[in-house]
């Protein structure tokens, strides 16, 4: 573990801005035709992404600006930003749910839970369950070094299954259960955990970062491979801001540039982590139970 310098924290902030901007663009691209462009909504992911990336770097002391550390931090910041924002929207925020086909607040069998206290209690239980899962993964870092390929994939698949269960809980009552959609998250998370294991040099960091890359990949696929298909939560809802169908395209070059930068860093990182070389990230005592 290295003591984070101001330079490394600044780099971490930039990585967080990129991850947050990536998430903000696909969110805006799908939602803006239905609810308009809101600078506050857009900036939320950017600000949260930067904040969590700096916090993660302060705790982990990754060896930035090494490519393995950059790739790992991008995935970690992405996962943390998505977690913070989704927990807030699901369990904390009060919002009219009539504009959605699929409720965005915590719901039971597709019916939003109106009682704020009940939602907060459910949110606390959810956060605790996620923390316990991460603690269990961290225990592996005390017993097996370096991470094994098969174990990394299995751990990634298990954590991805938790993500899939959460998505099915929200979507299935309205859309029905789709096995292909359900297993997409575990499959992607397993793949990314396998790729990230030699970069992050630990099950916990690799698995947590894999969640971020799974989200980025799945949402990129859903957003840009099917641009005319409304986001599930707006199924059957009118397009109230048709001008955004054209304006949203202005953000695509930025999105593509971020994807290209991450892919380039990933290629360099995987080359650095190849047999006979040394990956540039360090597993830190801070992430051990």
Residue 14 in any domain: the answer is: yes
Q: Considering only residues 77 and 97, tell me which one the structure prediction assigns the higher pLDDT.
A: 77
Query: Which segment, 91-95, 149-153, 211-215, is predicted with the most confidence on average?
Result: 211-215
Residue 203 lies in a domain: yes
Give the single-character DSSP code of 110: T
> Mean pLDDT throughout 63-88?
94
Q: Is it the case that residue 192 has pLDDT exceeding 90?
A: yes
Residue 209 neighbours by CB under 8 Å, 6+ apart: 71, 72, 73, 74, 75, 76, 78, 79, 192, 196, 200
- Which position has the higher pLDDT, 79 or 162? 79
pLDDT of amino acid 68: 93
The tally of domains found in the chain comes to: 1
Q: Does residue 132 sit within a domain?
A: yes
Lowest mean pLDDT among 96-100, 152-156, 163-167, 282-286: 282-286
What is the average pLDDT value for the chain, to the nearest integer? 86
Range of the domain at 156: 6-287
Q: Are 63 and 69 in contact (CB under 8 A)?
A: yes
| 270 domain-assigned | yes
Say whether 15 sits in a helix, a strand or coil. helix
**Per-residue pLDDT, 147:** 60
Q: Is residue 1 part of a domain?
A: no
pTM of the model: 0.87
Average pLDDT over residues 132-150: 76
Average pLDDT of the segment spanning 48-54: 97
Q: For residue 277, what pLDDT band results from cuts at 50, 70 and 90?
A: low
Q: Report yes or no on 110 lying in a domain.
A: yes
At 82, the pLDDT band (50, 70, 90 cuts) reads very high
Peptide bond into 222 cis (omega under 30): no
Residue 70 has a pLDDT of 95
Residue 22 lies in a domain: yes
User: 87 or 4: which carries more pLDDT confidence?
Assistant: 87
pLDDT of 20 higher than 60: yes
């Amino acid at each position: 573990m290295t003591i984070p310098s101001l330079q490394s924290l600044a780099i971490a902030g930039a990585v967080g801005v990129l991850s947050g901007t990536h998430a903000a663009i696909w969110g805006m691209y799908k939602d803006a035709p239905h609810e308009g462009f809101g600078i506050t909504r857009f900036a939320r992911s950017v600000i949260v992404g930067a904040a969590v990336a700096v916090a993660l770097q302060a705790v982990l002391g990754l060896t930035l600006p090494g490519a393995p550390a950059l790739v790992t931090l991008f995935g970690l910041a992405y996962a943390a930003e998505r977690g913070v924002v989704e927990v807030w929207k699901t369990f904390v925020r009060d919002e009219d749910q009539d504009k959605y086909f699929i409720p965005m607040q915590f719901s039971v069998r597709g019916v939003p839970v109106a009682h704020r206290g009940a939602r907060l209690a459910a949110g606390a239980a959810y956060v605790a369950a996620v923390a316990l899962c991460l603690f269990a993964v961290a225990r592996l870092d005390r017993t097996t070094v370096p991470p094994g390929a098969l174990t990394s994939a299995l751990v990634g698949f298990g954590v991805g299954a938790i993500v899939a269960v959460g998505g099915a809980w929200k979507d299935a009552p309205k859309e029905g259960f789709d096995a292909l959609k359900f297993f997409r998250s575990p499959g992607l998370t397993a793949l990314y955990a396998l790729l990230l294991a030699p970069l992050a040099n630990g099950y916990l960091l690799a698995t947590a970062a894999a969640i971020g890359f799974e989200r980025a990949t799945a949402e990129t696929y859903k957003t840009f491979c099917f641009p005319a298909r409304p986001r599930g939560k707006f199924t059957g809802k009118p397009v109230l801001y048709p001008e955004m169908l054209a304006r949203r395209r202005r953000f695509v070059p930025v999105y593509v540039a971020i994807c290209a930068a991450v892919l380039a860093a990933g290629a360099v990182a995987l080359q650095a982590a190849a047999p006979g070389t040394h990956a540039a990230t360090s597993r830190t005592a801070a992430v051990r139970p």
